[in-house]
Amino acid sequence: MTTKRSRSTAAAGLVLGAALSLLGAAGTAEAAPTGTTGYATTVQAHSNLREQPNTSSRIWGTTTKVTEAGVECYTLGQYVKVGTYGTSVWYYGTVIDYDIGHIYSNVWMWGGNVNVGADPAPGIPRC
């Protein structure tokens, strides 16, 4: 869980076919396409991808725009409030950022940045 796996643009191209349908409609969680695990969704722009489900853990990367993700599970971690929304739900999975040519595996994403509609999202299991 604590290792960052960053792959080159060439590797991102290999998963492009399998990941094209990763873009789930905002507010829903659906089965991820073949070749990925978890539920397909998106992560908001400028979201930190972390080593653990808290804001004091290492940042593996930051999304450059709304980015595709495959969420495997969720846990209750640090409560974070931004504006009027706060949650202690954190999602674990893979984020594909085509703009910078990276795939971040085994990262934590704060629930307020993951476009699943509710925290925790129905159908996503607890880690």
pLDDT at res. 37: 65
Predicted confidence at residue 23, as pLDDT, reads: 30
Quote the DSSP letter at residue 114: B
C-alpha–C-alpha distance, residues 42 and 29, integer Å: 10
CB 44 within 8 A of CB 115: yes
Average confidence score pLDDT of the chain: 78
Q: How far apart are CA 87 and CA 3, in angstroms?
A: 25
**Gap between the Cα atoms of 119 and 53, Å rounded:** 14
pLDDT tens column, 28-83: 344 443 334 689 999 999 999 999 999 999 999 999 999 999 999 999 999 999 99
Backbone angles phi, psi at 113, to 5 degrees: -100, -10
Give the mean pLDDT of 92-106: 91
How far is it, in rounded angstroms, from Cα 42 to Cα 25?
A: 8
First vs last Cα of the chain: how many Å apart?
Answer: 12
The three-state DSSP-derived secondary structure of 5-27 is: ECCCHHHHHHHHHHHHHHCCCCC
Output the CA–CA distances (angstroms, integers) from residue 5 to 37, 111, 120, 127, in the order listed. 15, 21, 26, 20
pTM of this prediction exceeds 0.75: no
